[in-house]
Structure 1
Amino acid sequence: MSSYREIDAFKKVVKPETEKAEEVINNVLESFNKLVKIECKNKCINFDDGSVSQCLNNTVKEYIKNILDEGKKFCELTRKSVKGSNEIAQHCSVIISYVETLMNERVSGMDFQDALKDLLQTAHKCKDETTKLKDGYTNINNNMRDIAMELDTINSQINEMMEKEEQNANLQNQEKKLANRAKWACIVTSTGLTILSPALAGVPLIGAGILGYVAKEKAEDVKECRVSRDQSRSLVESFKKINSSIDDVAKETESIINILDCFKVFWDRRVDEIDGLINDFENKKDSNVGYNKLTGKAVIKSWTEVQDKYSQYSNIILSLLNNSSVNRRLEMKN
């Protein structure tokens, strides 16, 4: 057997922790799905800045649409994460094949250096894509928090409006009671009985018919106040549901960023490792190179475990996206 120079590479690779990814991604999809189901009644508000009053249910719908747009981006990014995971699994396969070849054959150092240069180019490309993936999830997180701040402002205005409507409803209810008492007092008086209630002192007895009309009008005012108040309450509940979903998405998206950070770490290490090997091979490219079989088997085992983890992530997440009614509903809604 001809002499060769032994390669000491590809030994340091760490299995990713992606076990929680399925749960976290499913939670985000469910949070977006809750927003699709939110409905609210027509409600208008005059803003303090003097802007024209606007229908708040349309405002809510617009915010929900904007949030669901982020949901669509989330689904697209998650599909890209599956692609990124597959690329890592493919890279693992290439490394395994290199080690297997070097264990069984003696390869020209120059040929292996050229192969490493191709591998480095791929690693740089995948590293850039992983950075874009992380930036995409970060943008979704930031956009959701911006929307939450805007909704908090509107929600505080609705709460102020609801307090005023509550006071108005109570006042109208008191006036309705007073009008009813005046109507019946007039009827009693017209039959020859005496008004005994001090609260009605000074009420001109202009006839049961007129006072009956006033009582009916007050009843309509009370009804209108109650409807307005109930609509405000409905809006408050809608905003609570929206904010709850936004909080869930923001929290879970941060978890996804942390989970998928292993993608970036993987490619950072690969770029550094391969770049170092290429430089090292300046002194080995005129020699034949190989891999120690005992060491090679341990290296192959480690890379196979990493490959299996990324393949598992891809299969689980792709299945979740393809079979999730939540995802399909989001795509239809957008």
Structure 2
Amino acid sequence: MKIFNLLIILIFVSSCASSSKNELSFDAELSQFKYPFPVKTYEFSTQTQKLKMRYMDIGKSKSKVAVLLHGKNFAGFYWERIANDLVKKGYRVIIPDQIGFGKSSKPDNYHYSFPQLAKNTHGLIKSLGVRKYIVVGHSMGGMLAVNMGAMYRDIRKVVLVNPIGLEAYLDYVEYKDPEFFFKSEMNKTVDKARAYQRKNYYDGAWSNSYEALLTPFKGQLNGPDYEVVAWNAALTYGPIFEDNIVVKFPKIKAKTVLILGTRDRTGPGRGWKRKGVKRKLGQYQNLGREIKKENPKLKLIELKGLGHMPQFEDYNRFSKVFFREF
């Protein structure tokens, strides 16, 4: 763990040194931020636009393939350690940045939905000649993975790591226009982002490795394109509230595994619940069991004492259960 933390810190320091006065400045596609593996480009037409999905593709196996889907506040770069360990197990690992995230295109306007992102990702996978694969989704990537599992039959297994969406948010919260989220994104600061993650992801703890994960946000916040970055971030809240993945679990034909840090309290929309709603959102100690009850074939693995980022909080403990699925 110490070696991994050191590597992340070195990447962070290197990025800082590349800009004057130690102030990071990244464009919309993070051109100035180095990813852990070579970045490739999948160009495709969608919604009358030519867009570019960036992705990393490591390992050479044709029969053992894993596709790793990032969460909303991150991009593919944070899968580095898991990807390296999967390659050691003989896997080919594909890590896309979704449209609107990381190094991928940030269109001025795009109708974001999880079926659309699933179609985009499936197109990338097919363009690489992959026939069967395991899909892994963390946080928002878990909602995307559920959609892919429900839509496509070329998936061997769906592995979900603290996905959001285990409760239908619009049953409990008010609907907000994208303008609401855009204003919020434009008012973001590094201190606010850090405070949110410290409280909701790490139970008040903080470390240099957690800080390093904020590097892309810091650079884009200071960069010339933050407004379009913020607008895409605002638009991608829509699917989180509009898509009810709870009803899609039964549609997944592949074996599904749900790995949950039960201390997680991530509950999108808890700040604007409907009048009279008393439900506490983000009670992960209960959510997994509720999903399991409705989907008996689903495999539930609970990690007590860990939160939304179990793969970073305690990699050794997380990896013992995660890699059993490969």
Structure with more contact order per residue of length (Cα contacts < 8 Å, sep ≥ 6): 1
Higher percent of residues as helix: 1
Task: Return the index of the structure with the highest Cα Rg.
Answer: 1
Normalising by structure 1, we get a TM-score of 0.18
Higher percent of residues as strand: 2
